[in-house]
Amino acid sequence: MKRELAWRVFAGEYNDSTLEIKGDGEKTPSHIITPLGGKVNRLFIVGVLTDVENVSEGGEFVRAHISDPTGVFTLYSGQFQQEVTDQLVNIDVPTFVAVVGKIRTYAPDDGEMYVSIRPESIREVNADMRTRWILETSMQTKHRIGAVAEAMKMNEPSMQELRKLGYSIELSEGVVAALKEYQMTDVENYVALVRESLQYIAPSKDAPPEMHEEEQIILQKPKKEAKKTKKEEPKLKKEETSDDSEETEDTVLNAIKKLEGDEGAAWDAIMENCKKTGLDEDSIEEALTSLMDKGFIFEPVLGTIKTT
């Protein structure tokens, strides 16, 4: 079974979601359908980690919040993600973080649903990474807006017709399901979210006035000084790890160049090609994320990778 792709979705869209399609059996994943047709099982988000609190007596279960320009994501992490839970507890908030996580829902009553995220990995990042995420998420949100707008023109929204227009299977399925669930999706509301997000990162010498107080604190933080040590071994290990990462990225990038046509290379094909070189799936995904962060590749359509 292929691994679900990590969608880039703003909090404002994710938190509006009220439809979950549950998988049949253990091996079939569940999905949240967002108002713009995102068929989401996993997410990749970047924002400001504003707080982390224990929600159980023993401290083995924590709740955290990450803000982006459109709202706040809620995260829950426990003993089954002990490494991530420990990371969350030990991060000095507020700070910029990048998170890959799985969907989580809570439905206290019929017709009522709250969404959150169960983090699979988390790492501290800088403001530049946050900016790149906002740009990429804006592009993908506009793509979904376009798909919804096309479907709304149809007498009967059809997955097949959306596929003919070039939209992916996942998005086409999601858009048709979204229009049934949310009736008349307020597309203009999400257009405004994208516009506000882009204005939020408009080049400026000073922090924009609408910037969250937590973000201003982060940008004013003095940079952490590296701890001095007499031992040279840890330094050598870091350099070796860095070299290994660069070698992995080179392998993945070469695979993409080899596989991509005019429309790009399929995610699954990249995975299979790189596995033949001895790389494992986690290393490949980390390399893909890093290459995106550095601007060497991008994802024009969900599940398709192109070099820049």
Tokens encoding 140 = 């993908």
Using DSSP bridges, classify how beta strands 6-7 and 42-54 pair: parallel, antiparallel or unpaired: parallel
- Can you state the percent helix, strand and coil of the chain, rounding each to 5? 45, 25, 35
CATH of the domain at 53: 2.40.50.140
Tell whether 140 and 71 lie within a shared domain.
Answer: yes
140 neighbors 115 (Cβ within 8 angstroms) = no
**Whole-angstrom distance, CA of residue 56 vs CA of residue 11:** 25
Least confident of 115-119, 170-174, 292-296: 292-296
Asked if residue 275 belongs to a domain, the reply is yes
Residue ending a domain, among 222, 254, 278, is 222
Residue ending a domain, among 157, 187, 222, is 222
Name, in order, each residue with C-beta under 8 angstroms of 219's C-beta and a sequence gap of 6 or more.
127, 207
The predicted structure's pLDDT at residue 159: 93
Q: Choose among 54, 34, 32, 50: nearest CA to 42.
A: 32
68 neighbors 134 (Cβ within 8 angstroms) = yes
The predicted structure's pLDDT at residue 37: 94
The predicted structure's pLDDT at residue 231: 37
Least confident of 35-39, 142-146, 285-289: 285-289
Strand partners, 119: 101
Tell whether 111 and 10 lie within a shared domain.
Answer: yes
Name, in order, each residue with C-beta under 8 angstroms of 308's C-beta and a sequence gap of 6 or more.
295, 296, 297, 298
Asked if residue 235 belongs to a domain, the reply is no
pLDDT-based confidence at residue 230 (cuts at 50, 70, 90):
very low
What is the pTM assigned to this prediction?
A: 0.68
25-74 pLDDT per residue, tens = 666 788 999 999 999 999 999 999 999 998 877 667 899 999 999 999 99
Tell whether 75 and 104 lie within a shared domain.
Answer: yes
Contacts 24+ apart (CB under 8 A), 278-287: 279/248, 279/251, 279/252, 281/3, 283/248, 284/248, 284/252, 285/3, 286/245, 286/248, 287/245, 287/248, 287/249, 287/251, 287/252, 287/253
Tell whether 185 and 96 lie within a shared domain.
Answer: yes
| Torsional sign, CA 204, 210, 212, 216 | positive
Tell whether 259 and 158 lie within a shared domain.
Answer: no
Name, in order, each residue with C-beta under 8 angstroms of 1's C-beta and a sequence gap of 6 or more.
27
The predicted structure's pLDDT at residue 293: 62
293 neighbors 256 (Cβ within 8 angstroms) = no
Task: Report CA Rg, the chain.
Answer: 20
Helix (H, G, I), strand (E, B) or coil at 101: strand
Domain span at residue 300 reads: 242-307
φ/ψ of residue 132, rounded to 5: -65, -40
160-202 pLDDT per residue, tens = 999 999 999 999 999 999 999 887 668 899 999 999 899 888 7
